[in-house]
């Protein structure tokens, strides 16, 4: 037990930069300081993340074939997780229509990308980026249809174009000059700290009235993710691809899901409770998850 405790707390050292960034966002919100959430979100979504995606794909040790394999397995895993989430919500007598997307889509951006890089380095970050791309596409298509009955426009998501451009250049074996790659790296380096700061700030402003039912939704998020990860483990023996995908499946509820639920559904407060509880729970067991990913 003491050995596990030592390993657990040693992982907190690894996680400290992530926790500090989230903590700064929380402190900023608690102090009532202004935070241009809309501006930062658009900057991250339309500029920083596409730059991070493009740079990572250009320098990644994974081949184009590996990335396509990750995209396929990520899609399959997320679709299975969606079916499981719908089933678990029904078991708990929670609204599948209003809370399905919140329980289904993991926070593969704000927390998933830095966690994957911490645990598995550049190779893991590449897998996480491919997973994040798939989860974003499904969130803005099937996720929105689940919630509203209509689908969003995928072509408006810049991350899609960044992935296509990176894969096309890698497949054509095109060598770019160093300056665009370095520029993408510099701009992309904004993504992770800004996402973590925004996450922390957003947690402060979430309504607290839906905590009880939100705990049930958080349980569904982790339960469906864990079951999908176990099924993926049985189907995909290649650890370097399986492990980062499994890690993404165990991320908490995404903040965007709360925003969708508030705008289009009838359970915005419950979705907010789910985001808050699942994120706090993740911060508790994240060191153990990180330790396990290193141990295996």
Locate the domains of the chain by residue range: 34-193+206-295
Yes or no: say if 236 and 254 are a contact pair by the CB < 8 Å rule: no
Residues of the chain with pLDDT under 50: none
- Give the per-residue pLDDT at 151: 62
Architecture of the domain whose range is 34-193+206-295: Up-down Bundle (1.20)
Distance, in Å, from the CA atom of 97 to the CA atom of 80, rounded to the nearest integer, reads 17
3-state SS, residue 118: helix
Q: Which residues contact 119 (CB under 8 A, 6 or more apart)?
A: 243, 244, 247, 290, 293, 294
- Give the per-residue pLDDT at 295: 59
- Give the per-residue pLDDT at 237: 75
- Give the per-residue pLDDT at 279: 92
Half-sphere exposure of 4 (CA within 13 A, CB side): 5
Q: Which residues contact 254 (CB under 8 A, 6 or more apart)?
A: 102, 105, 106, 107, 108, 109, 110, 139, 275
- Give the per-residue pLDDT at 103: 94
- Give the per-residue pLDDT at 80: 97
Angle between helices 268-295 and 191-205 (to 10 degrees): 140
* Residue 219: how many other CB atoms lie within 10 Å: 18
Distance, in Å, from the CA atom of 208 to the CA atom of 176, rounded to the nearest integer, reads 49
Which tokens hold the place of 64? 């184009």
Look-up of token digits 């957003």:
202
Q: Which residues contact 177 (CB under 8 A, 6 or more apart)?
A: none
Look-up of token digits 């300056």:
179
- Give the per-residue pLDDT at 160: 81
Distance, in Å, from the CA atom of 21 to the CA atom of 78, rounded to the nearest integer, reads 28
Distance, in Å, from the CA atom of 120 to the CA atom of 122, rounded to the nearest integer, reads 7
Which tokens hold the place of 219? 């349980």
Question: Rounded to an integer, what is the distance from CA 249 to the centroid of its chain?
Answer: 8
Which pTM does this prediction carry?
A: 0.89
Yes or no: say if 167 and 67 are a contact pair by the CB < 8 Å rule: yes
């Amino acid at each position: 037990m003491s050995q596990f405790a030592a390993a657990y707390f040693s992982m907190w050292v690894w996680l400290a930069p992530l926790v500090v960034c989230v903590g700064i966002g929380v402190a900023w919100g608690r102090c009532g300081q202004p935070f241009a959430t809309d501006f930062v979100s658009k900057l991250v979504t339309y500029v920083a993340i596409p730059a991070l995606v493009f740079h990572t794909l250009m320098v990644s040790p994974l081949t184009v074939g590996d990335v396509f394999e990750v995209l396929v397995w990520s899609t399959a895993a997320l679709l299975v997780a969606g079916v499981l989430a719908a089933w678990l919500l029904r078991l708990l007598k929670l609204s599948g229509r209003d809370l399905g997307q919140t329980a289904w889509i993991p926070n593969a951006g704000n927390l998933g990308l830095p966690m994957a890089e911490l645990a598995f380095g550049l190779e893991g970050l590449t897998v996480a980026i491919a997973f994040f791309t798939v989860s974003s596409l499904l969130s803005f298509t099937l996720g929105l249809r689940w919630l509203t009955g209509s689908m969003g426009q995928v072509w408006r998501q810049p991350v899609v174009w960044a992935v296509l451009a990176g894969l096309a250049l890698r497949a054509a074996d095109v060598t770019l000059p160093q300056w665009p790659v370095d520029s993408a790296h510099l701009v992309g380096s904004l993504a992770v700290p800004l996402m973590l700061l925004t996450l922390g700030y957003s947690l402060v402003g979430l309504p607290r009235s839906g905590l009880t039912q939100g705990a049930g939704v958080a349980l569904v998020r982790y339960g469906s993710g864990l079951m999908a990860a176990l099924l993926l483990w049985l189907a995909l023996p290649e650890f370097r691809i399986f492990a980062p995908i499994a890690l993404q499946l165990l991320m908490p509820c995404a903040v965007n899901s709360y925003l969708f639920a508030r705008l289009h559904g009838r359970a915005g407060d419950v979705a907010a409770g789910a985001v808050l509880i699942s994120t706090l729970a993740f911060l508790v067991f994240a060191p153990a998850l990180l330790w396990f990913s290193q141990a295996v």
